Amino acid sequence: MNLELIGELVKLRYKLMWAKTRTRNGKIALFFAGYILLIMVIVILAAGGLGAGIVAVRSGKGYRMAAAILGGFFLQAILATVLLGFGMGAIFSEGEMRRYPLVERERVLVRHLIGILDPFWFLILALELGLALGMYFFGAGSFWLGLIAVLLLFVTNYLFARVLGQLVERLVSKKGGSTILLGLIMCLGLLPSAIQPQLKKNSQAFRPVVEVLRYSPPAGAAQAMTHVDSEAAVGLSILLGWIVGLGAVLVILEKRPIRVRVAQSTKLSWESPFERMGAFLGPENAILVGQWLRFYSRNNRFRMLYPLALPICAFLVILFPKQAPENSRYLASLGAFTIVGFMGTVQFAVNQFGYVGGGFRRYLLLPTNPAAVLRTGSYTFLMLGSVLIPAATLILLLFPPVPLDWHTVVLFVGCAVTAMFVMNGIALWVTLLAPRKGNYDASFGNDLSFAANVVVMGGMFALLFGPRAIAGVWPHAVGPDDWWKVFPLILIAIFFYFASLRKAETMFVVRREALLAMMEGRG
């Protein structure tokens, strides 16, 4: 094993991260600030984990609490990686790695070492380590066993996310795969609410399930953390078993690359629904909107995230405790409904040109004002987002989470329209000021810039929890009694969007050289 070369490549990953900051002095400061922030977050998370450990020991149910907490961390890490793409970026592809004198298993090792050394995974590690320390300080287990358990769980978590990512990628690359995935997620999402009443009626019926869960990675780690006898060894062996199993599955999957989709027929098809859809936005936009629609309809990431927007918003409501006060359910439903118009498209709207690559140059050569490209791209996201609002309204009417009258429905729809215009307006600025070259073919990985991530995550959380925060200060502001207030909000949002679009069009022409350099990998 060429450890020296492997070390050099891992170092290169960090050198490349550093090199990106060299272009502007301000970015260097940002880099340091980002890392100081990261360290602070790690410390806070470790303290959180420690606190959870203390609670677990004091409750007298150390093993069960630890298993539940680790299970939560484990699932959250998987959701954050598979759905949001954190910690799943491939810095070097297999093709790039083949340039170096490394054998196959060394290349695999480098890729995964770089993957697991992503700052995102450090956050997960910090949480789990904090928990192990908490357990140790309060005498629930051994320090070394806890440390080994956490490290093994950390590797298992990474491998699990990778395997799941591979499976999802394979699924969405197939025709109809996105629909199957959607169905699976819906079933998974409905499972807790379906199980809960049964669990109350007959808890013994789920005993076999609980027994099986004892062999899950978080349970194995919890067992090793909370015991100092042979039980700890059993816990560690569960984790080792998972690592071997997942590692083997991952090797098999990676050795069988995803087959590239080929055309169903070799006959040229001249007709396409994309231009017809584009025609809804006027003949001057039809061709470019059609082109954007075609471009994104073939993107695996888009095909996965866009259809998920609706069920995710629905689950945010369904999963809200049924026994919660009606006002809380109302506010949760309003928050979830508000994000439906942009949730499926915002990741792309904030980095409109990030996946176009060399095609960006072509856009600038077209016999049209260059700004038309920006405008039509933004219209495309608005159109796609607005399609989801009536669909969500239908679901809202069929399965009302709270008692509905037409005032409430108008308020919900109005909030979704407002949020859609505001977020797409902000996305225009982010697209121009904080773009980042992304990988069109990757189904996973977070390609967005820091600012884009702040807008996507911040926007979603602000709107999800915003109604609750506002209601805390001004209870009537988001209530159905003042439903009419949504109309001026819609008008302000539309004005903001079009004013942003107008300014952004001018700025796009000015910034096109910088964008071109970035999209072609020179900036």
The residues binding another protein (CB under 8 A) are: 260, 262-263, 266-268, 270, 272, 275, 287-288, 290-291, 294-295, 298-299, 356-362, 364-370, 440-441, 509, 512-513, 516, 520
Closer of 299 and 449 to another protein (Cβ): 299
Closer of 208 and 367 to another protein (Cβ): 367
Closer of 156 and 173 to another protein (Cβ): 173
Closer of 401 and 435 to another protein (Cβ): 435
Structure tokens at 329: 């359910």
Q: How far is the CB of 273 from another protein (least distance, A)?
A: 13
Gap between the Cα atoms of 137 and 142, Å rounded = 9
Closer of 326 and 513 to another protein (Cβ): 513
Q: How far is the CB of 4 from another protein (least distance, A)?
A: 23
Closer of 120 and 440 to another protein (Cβ): 440
1 residue type, one letter: M
Gap between the Cα atoms of 421 and 344, Å rounded = 14
Q: Which residues contact 135 (CB under 8 A, 6 or more apart)?
A: 53, 56, 57, 62, 66, 141, 146, 225, 226
Gap between the Cα atoms of 166 and 153, Å rounded = 20
Q: How far is the CB of 174 from another protein (least distance, A)?
A: 16
Residue 363 sits at φ, ψ, to 5 deg, of -60, -35
Q: How far is the CB of 272 from another protein (least distance, A)?
A: 8
Furthest CA-CA distance within the chain: 75
Residues 347, 306: contact at Cβ < 8 Å?
A: no
Q: How far is the CB of 365 from another protein (least distance, A)?
A: 5
Q: Which residues contact 185 (CB under 8 A, 6 or more apart)?
A: 308, 311
Q: How far is the CB of 430 from another protein (least distance, A)?
A: 22
Q: How far is the CB of 515 from another protein (least distance, A)?
A: 11
Gap between the Cα atoms of 106 and 451, Å rounded = 35
Rounded to the nearest 10°, the torsion over CA 59, 60, 66, 71 is: -70
DSSP state of 353: T
Residues in the chain: 523
Closer of 15 and 276 to another protein (Cβ): 276
Q: How far is the CB of 76 from another protein (least distance, A)?
A: 32
424: left (phi over 0), alpha (psi -120 to 50) or beta: alpha
Closer of 122 and 306 to another protein (Cβ): 306
